[in-house]
Structure formats: C-alpha cells, structure tokens
Amino acid sequence: MAIIVQKFGGTSVANAEKIRRAAKRVIKTVENGYSVVVVASARGQQTDELIADALELNPNPPKREMDQLLSTGEQQSVSLFAMALDAMGYDAISLTGSQIRMMTDSAYTKARIKSIDTKRIHEQLDKGRIVIVAGFQGIDENENITTLGRGGSDTTAVALAAAMGAEECEIYTDVDGVYTTDPRIFKNAVKMDQISYDEMLEMASFGAGVMHPRAVEFGKKYDVKIHVRNSSNETKGTIITHEVPQMEGVVVSGATIQKDMAKISLVGVDNVPGNAAKIFACLANAKVVVSDIVQTEISTEKANVSFIISISDLTAAKEAVEQIKDEVNCESIFIREDIAEVSVIGVGMRTHYGVAEKMFGALANAQINIDSITTSEIRISCAVDKKQVEKALEAVCVAFELDKPAQERTKHN
C-alpha cells in the first residue's frame, strides 16, 4: 500500500478540536487507500513555554537536559493524537523518536539525523494501524534524547518519508503554503504554486520559518515530493520540487528576513596562512553554526574576519573567539547584537543581471544603511539594523513585485 506522511505543526494540534480536525484528515487519507504515518509537533506554544520554564530555573541550562525537557511536548501530542483516532474507531499507535531508533549525532538542541529504523513503523502499518511519530526528536548512540533544532518536526517528517519511500510528504501548517515572503509581515505576499528545493532551502536557511532547512535538504537528496498546505482548509498548497526550466524566468521568487542574529568581527588578525582555519575550527568545536563569513585584508600584516551567527549561539561563540584571540594576534573583538538580514532569493539570478543594483537601490530609497552584503548563486543578503529590517523587507518586496503572481510581474522581475 502506498504511504503518505502527514506532518501537523504546533498550531494544527493546539487543542482537542484541532487534533480532532487533523485526525479526520488522516482518516480521509486512510479511506482513500493509503497507509498514513503522522508526524506531530508539540501543541501550540508548548515548546516556547518549556524553554521559559527552563530559563526560570537556569539562565544557561545544560543542553542535554534541555532536549530531555523539550522532547516531552511532542510526546504529549502524539499520544493525544492516537487517542483521538481511537475514539473515532481507528487503530493507531504513537511512537517516540527513541522507539523508532531515530539516531542522531550528539549536538543537543541542533542534532542531525544519522539513520532511522523503519521496521517498527512498517510492522504497525502492516497491522492496519495509523502510526503517529513524535517530531523533532531522536537519540544519540548513548541513548540520550536529542532534538533537531526549532521547527525540526518538518525534518522528522521528510526524513521518514524518504526512509519509507512515501509517495508524498504533506506539511500541514497555519498558512496556505509557501508565500513570496512571510505573509504575517508583508500582507500582500503571494502564495506560490511550486518552488524549487534550492530556492526553498535558501529561503528556509535565511529566515522563512515555514520549513526547516534540513527537511528541504532531505527532500532534495531523496526526491521527496513535499506539499506545504493549510490544516484548516482544503486549498492546494505549495509543492516543493525539482527545478523546471520556466522557474528561471522569474528572477526573484521570494524574500526573507532573519532577526535573531549577531555579528562578530575579529579586527586586526595576523594576515598569515592558517589563522582563518584556527578561528573556525574553534567555532566548530563549540558547535556554533556560522554564516556570511567575510575576510578582508587591511594591510599586508593584518586582516579583519567577521561572520554572522544566531543570537542563541552568542555565548558559545564569544567563548570560542576569546579562546583563539591571542593565538591569531587579534587586536580587538567587535560584536553587534542588533543585526538582522534581509535576503532575496531566486534561481533566475543565475541567468539575469541587475538584481543587486535593484536591491541596493530599494534599500537606499528607504534610507536603510547596509552593514554588509553576502551572496550565493541564487541569493543576495544584506545585513541591516534590526530596527529597520521589516521596512527593508517591504522595500525589496515592492521593488521585485513580490505582491503579484510571478506571471504578472514586469519582465525581468
């Protein structure tokens, strides 16, 4: 029997009524002849509440204990989901990350999946049961509970869909699909019918919280058709898929902002071979994820090295650079905690010019100063003052006509 994975995010299972509604959707899929594996997130804002509980007791809680705590949110929603299905006359079983041997590395709070044993899920599906898997969690080789990073239930779902050869992975959320930008920030954003894995990955990595970046990576690598859609209506959502030629006709497909960022600059580092390697080895050791690395030579003797990190890694990153500072002869360390990034993304950038000019022009017209600029083949990001980032997003959305469907935009936009 063909398998469909259906993932329900926090708002889609926030209370009994919403769990019942999600359960009905699962039943409909079962009645259409599919075996269904459900992945559920913690209910409503529960993960945030658990984090607040932890911080009340300890401002810097041990990460292992944090994962032990946070995994309980998903554990509650899967058992409640199974109970709802049982009450509707359907045989269901909930399973935690450890019960399906969702093996990860030991990077607590941002673990990466290494392998999944689907045997138990298959056995249960073969018995005609609906299997409800707790999202966001796994275990490391020592049976410690790990979590995959905020929003990580998407990754559980797509990884399971890949491992089980599912026909489709449906991501049920609280918006109708993937929009040109966050519709809660830019009201005129437009829903896309489809988006390429590469664009979605850049959007997710640079702030589009609608999908977890690792989920998109899994989708691309294992060819999983991902359908992002609204759990409270029947509208067709957005399909994340391989690139098709007409996608290149659109220069900018979407825009994002990322708020909780910090920028660290090591000023006046000795300009000799090996220093960049030493700095980033130290950060990697501290499990800090860095982006937007810029190294500039300021004289034959000295260079500046800067990079952007998530604010949640700031303490670890500060400790790491303090450790390496003397070894690379760094004159001073400069930290900006009020930084945010606005990015535009589109596979069409590979074949069109003038995107950078248009973006910088839009920011200039809005009187927004650009702190630093980084690019990939399909993305341009500008770091700006956090207080101005929403205004910056609006300016670029208007400039690239992200308030119109792609086919209605001026040519070359």
175 contacts ligand ADP (rule: CB under 6 A): yes
Q: 380 with 172: CB under 8 angstroms?
A: no
Which of 4, 42, 159, 397: binder of ligand ASP (CB under 6 A)? 42
Residues 64-103 binding ligand ASP (CB under 6 A) are: 73
Which of 12, 13, 125, 152: binder of ligand ASP (CB under 6 A)? 152
What is the number of the residue whose Cβ is closest to ligand ADP? 9
Q: 229 with 235: CB under 8 angstroms?
A: yes
Q: Closer to ligand ADP at the Cβ: 65 or 176?
A: 176
- Give the count of beta carbons closer than 10 Å to the beta carbon of residue 190: 19
Which of 30, 131, 135, 206: binder of ligand ASP (CB under 6 A)? 135
In 3D, which of 18, 39, 15, 225 has the Cα closest to residue 130?
A: 39
47 contacts ligand ADP (rule: CB under 6 A): no
The span of 124-132, 138-146, 169-177, 296-304 binding ligand ADP (CB under 6 A) equals 169-177
- Give the count of beta carbons closer than 10 Å to the beta carbon of residue 333: 13
77 contacts ligand ADP (rule: CB under 6 A): no
Helix residue spans in 295-407 (DSSP H): 314-324, 355-365, 389-399
* Residue carrying structure tokens 């997003």: 393
Compute the Cα dihedral for 221, 224, 228, 231 and give only its sign. negative
209 contacts ligand ADP (rule: CB under 6 A): yes
Q: Closer to ligand ADP at the Cβ: 178 or 261?
A: 178
| Local structure of 342: helix, strand or coil | strand
Which of 135, 138, 151, 268: binder of Mg ion (CB under 5 A)? 151
Closest approach of Mg ion to the CB of residue 115, in Å: 23
Closest approach of Mg ion to the CB of residue 161, in Å: 16
- Measured in degrees and rounded to the nearest 5, phi and psi for residue 389 equal -70, -30
Q: Closer to ligand ADP at the Cβ: 93 or 406?
A: 406
CB contact set of 16 (below 8 Å; sequence gap of 6+): 80, 84
Residues 323-362 binding ligand ASP (CB under 6 A) are: none
Q: Closer to ligand ADP at the Cβ: 19 or 324?
A: 19
Radius of gyration of the chain (CA): 22
181 contacts ligand ADP (rule: CB under 6 A): yes
| Local structure of 339: helix, strand or coil | strand
In 3D, which of 273, 267, 332, 265 has the Cα closest to residue 302?
A: 267
153 contacts ligand ASP (rule: CB under 6 A): yes
208 contacts ligand ADP (rule: CB under 6 A): yes
Q: How far is CA 13 from CA 35, 173, 210, 231, 234, in A?
A: 21, 10, 16, 9, 17
213 contacts ligand ASP (rule: CB under 6 A): no
List % helix, strand, coil for the chain (3-state, nearest 5).
40, 25, 35
- Beta-bridged to residue 375, according to DSSP, are 380
The span of 151-159, 193-201, 226-234, 313-321 binding Mg ion (CB under 5 A) equals 151-159
135 contacts ligand ADP (rule: CB under 6 A): no
Closest approach of ligand ADP to the CB of residue 82, in Å: 20
Cα angle 188, 189, 194; round to 5: 150
Q: Closer to ligand ADP at the Cβ: 95 or 189?
A: 189
Q: Enumerate binding residues for ligand ASP (CB under 6 A).
A: 9-10, 41-42, 47, 73, 135-136, 150-153
Q: Enumerate binding residues for Mg ion (CB under 5 A).
A: 9, 151
